[in-house]
Structure 1
C-alpha cells in the first residue's frame, strides 16, 4: 500500500536551498576542519570530493546535526541550525550513512532497518512497507531475514544505505557509501542515486572520482576546510589538461585544481 502524503509534504517550500552555509566553521576536536564555507545545495545528486583530511566527514557530520557549527550560518530546509533549533524535527527529514556505523550483529537486516525507522519516528503503520521498500532498493530482499553477522562487508554497507533511506528523507547524506561494494553493486548504487536525486537533495562523499562522474550532476571539491570548486562534472573535467595526473578527464581536472591550490598554499594541498 502506498504511503499517505501529509499536507506538510505537498505544501510549497519556503526556502531556496535544502542546505545553505555562509561562512560556516566547524571544529573536529581542536582543529577547524570546516573554515569559512559558503555553499548552497538543492534537489539533485551532489558529489563531495577532496583528499584525506580535507574536512569532508566533518562537513557531513555537521549537516547531519551531529556536530554544531563553531561559527557562521548553517540552514537546513530554511531553518538555522543553532541555539534552539528543533533538531528532532530536522532529523526526521534526514538520512545519514556515516563511514562507520554501529549495529547489533544479532539483528536481521529487517530488524535493523525497522529499528532505525522507529528511531526516525516513521509512523508505526508505515514501518513494514517503508522497510520492505528500502531493503528492495538496495538489493537485499532475499537476505532481509538473515542476521547481519552472516553478511559480507558489502552487504552490511547496503543495509546501512537501506536505513538511511527508510524514512524517505528530504536530505540524504552518504559518507563513502560505496566502500566494500563490488563493481556491479556500485553500478546499481549509481542507478539508485539517480532515482533518489529526482526529488531529494543527496550529498555523497567519496574518494572515487569515477562514481561522481557517473552519478552526480553537481560536484563540490573541498580542500583544507574550504570550497575549492562547485560545478558540473564536465566543468570539473575542463579544468584539467593532458599533462595533469589522472586516467580520465574528470580525474585530471580534479588533480589540476588540487595542484593549483597546493601552489598557492606552499605545496601543502593534497600532500601525504
Structure 2
C-alpha cells in the first residue's frame, strides 16, 4: 500500500479565489463589464453600484453562467473561458441569483438536497449538509414545508441555504436581502461574517449599510468598470458634507460615483 504524502492531502490554495484582468462580459449585445481588473480573496466583499452598473452580469460571469467575451478570468486557480472544463470549479461555487427557479411542490429539504445533488456532492454527505444549511438560515421549522407555501423572505432564505449547502470556496449572492425583515437581515450579516472566515463571499446589493456592517472589502463599479476597492472606512473617507447620503459610507459612495461620471480618476 502506497503512503499518501502530506502534499497530496493538503487543501488546495490559490493566490486569489477570483482573479480578473481586462475582463469583458456581454449582456446580449451590450458590453456590461468593460475591461475590469479585480482580485478577491478570503473574506466578505460587498459589490456596489447603481442600476445598470454591470453587477448582475459580473456575478453571472463569476458563477460561470455566462462566458467572458474577452480578458482573463481565473476562479479557484482554474481559467474560465473557451472550452475549459468547469465542473471542478462549479463544485466549489455557491450562487444565489436575483431570481431562482424551483419546483413548487418540493419541500425546502427536497429543494436544498436537489441542488446539493446538482453540485455533485457525495451522496452520504447530502442529508447532513442539507440540514446544516437549513438550520443556518433559520428555516428549521419549515424544512418539510412545500416551497409554494413560503413567504418571499422565506424563499430568499431557502435560496441562501442551497447556495451554502456545499460549503463553497466562492459564495456569490445577488441581492440576497430582498424580502428579509430587519431581524433577518441582522442574522444574515452574521452568517456572512461566519462564512467569510474561510471562503470568498461576494454580495451584490444596493444597501450600503449592509456592506458597511458585514463586509471587510467594498468593490464599487459603474458602467462595467472598477471605480473603487477598499475597506468600508476607505469608502466613508471619500465623501464630504456636500455629498448625498445619510451616512459617511453613503456620502463616500455618492462622491466616488460623481467623480467617476465627471471623468475624474479614470
Do they fold alike, i.e. is TM over 0.5?
yes
- Residues in 2 aligned to 1:258 and 1:239: alpha-carbon distance in whole angstroms: 10
Whether 1:138 and 2:137 are equivalent positions in the alignment is: yes
Give the equivalent residue in structure 1 for 2:87.
88
In 1, the alpha carbon distance for the partners of 2:134 and 2:11 equals 30
Deviates more, 1:57-66 or 1:76-85: 76-85
1:110–1:40 Cα change, 3 Å: same
SS of 2:262 mapped into structure 1: helix
CA offsets 1:85-133 (integer angstroms, 9 cap, x no match): 2111111110000000000111110010010000001100000000000
User: 1:10 & 1:204 partners in 2: Cα distance?
Assistant: 31
Which runs of structure 1 show a deviation greater than 6 angstroms over 4 or more consecutive aligned residues?
none
- Give, in angstroms, the shift of residue 77 of structure 1: 1.1
Partner of 1:73, secondary structure, is strand
Structure 1 equivalent of residue 156 of structure 2 = 157
Deviations 1:65-89 (A, max 9, x none): 0010000000001111022321111
Distance in 2 of aligned mates of 1:180 and 1:57: 18
Q: CA RMSD in A?
A: 1.4
Q: Matches of 1:14 and 1:131 in 2, distance apart?
A: 26
Residues 1-272 of structure 1: pairs in structure 2 closer than 5 A: 11-264=10-263
Deviations 1:155-191 (A, max 9, x none): 0000000000001100000000000000000000000
Determine the C-alpha separation between the residues in 1 that align with 2:87 and 2:7: 16
**For 1:183 and 1:121, how far apart are their aligned partners in 2?**
35
Normalised by the size of structure 1, how large is the TM-score?
0.93
Residue aligning to 2:3 = none
CA displacement, residues 14-50 of structure 1 (integer Å, 9 cap, x when unaligned):
5200000000000000011000000000000000000
Change beyond 3 A, Cα 1:8–1:76: farther
> What is the CA-CA distance between 1:12 and the residue it aligns to?
4.7
Partner residue in 2 for 1:3:
none
Aligned partners of 2:159, 2:40: CA distance in 1, in Å? 23
Deviation at 1:13, TM superposition (A): 3.3
Structure 1 stretches of 5 or more lacking a match?
1-6, 266-272
- Unaligned 5+ segments in structure 2 are 1-5
Of stretches 36-45 and 84-93 in structure 1, the one that deviates more from structure 2 is 84-93
Deviation track 1:190-222 (CA, whole Å, cap 9, x = no partner) reads 000000000000000000000000000000001
Distance 1:92 1:57 in 2: 21
